[in-house]
Amino acid sequence: MAPLRKLDPFSRFFMKLYRGKHYEATPHTRLRLPLNECRVALITTAGFLLDGQPPFESGDCSYREIPNATQTQALINGHKSAAYDERGLETDPNLAFPLDRFKELETEGKIGSLNHRHFSFMGSITKPEALIEKTAPEVGHKLKTDGVDVAFLTPV
């Protein structure tokens, strides 16, 4: 996130007036297994996608599946915002989608295994109703079907 003072006047005005959503209830489930026995999936709001996948649009609540076999350097940064400094992600996508780090954790036996697919959403969604009602539950269902025990979220 860029410092507020570095944003253009319109973006500063928007950020000062924008009121984020607050939800009292958040889903939380205690682990049933030790972490070194859990299947883990990554979820990011960095807007990453792969060549051939449709680009994200402004306010887009859809998601892109990222196969576990993906090389992080193949990820395309689809998140564009004046309030978002993506320079670091262009150098190392692991900053927002730590796939390489989690593969290391898997090799070291710190986690059980990585799921065969992970998910990327666009950040900066100002009207999240479709995300809450449709796409996030779709991903939740896919994770449950895949037998995922832990979802690691990297919000951007």
Does residue 73 fall inside a structural domain? yes
pLDDT for 86-139, tens place per residue? Answer: 777 888 999 999 999 999 999 999 999 999 999 999 987 878 899 999 999 999
Residue 86 and residue 79 in contact, taking contact as beta carbons nearer than 8 Å = yes
> Cα(42)–Cα(121) distance, rounded to whole angstroms?
11
> Cα(119)–Cα(42) distance, rounded to whole angstroms?
6
Mean pLDDT of 32-44: 97
CA atoms in the 13 A half-sphere facing the CB of 50: 13
Residues 6+ apart with CB under 8 A from 152: 40, 41, 42, 43, 98, 102
Domain count, the chain: 1
Does residue 22 fall inside a structural domain? no
Does residue 129 fall inside a structural domain? yes
3-state secondary structure of 3: coil
Going 3 to 19 to 59 to 75, the CA torsion angle's sign is positive
Does residue 10 fall inside a structural domain? no
Does residue 102 fall inside a structural domain? yes
Judge whether residue 43 has pLDDT over 70.
yes
pLDDT for 69-93, tens place per residue? Answer: 999 999 999 876 666 677 778 889 9
What residues make up the domain containing 91? 33-154
Torsion of CA 42, 47, 52, 55, to 10 degrees: 150
Which tokens go with 147?
A: 């037998």
Among 5, 98, 86, which Cα is nearest to 43's?
Answer: 98
Does residue 90 fall inside a structural domain? yes
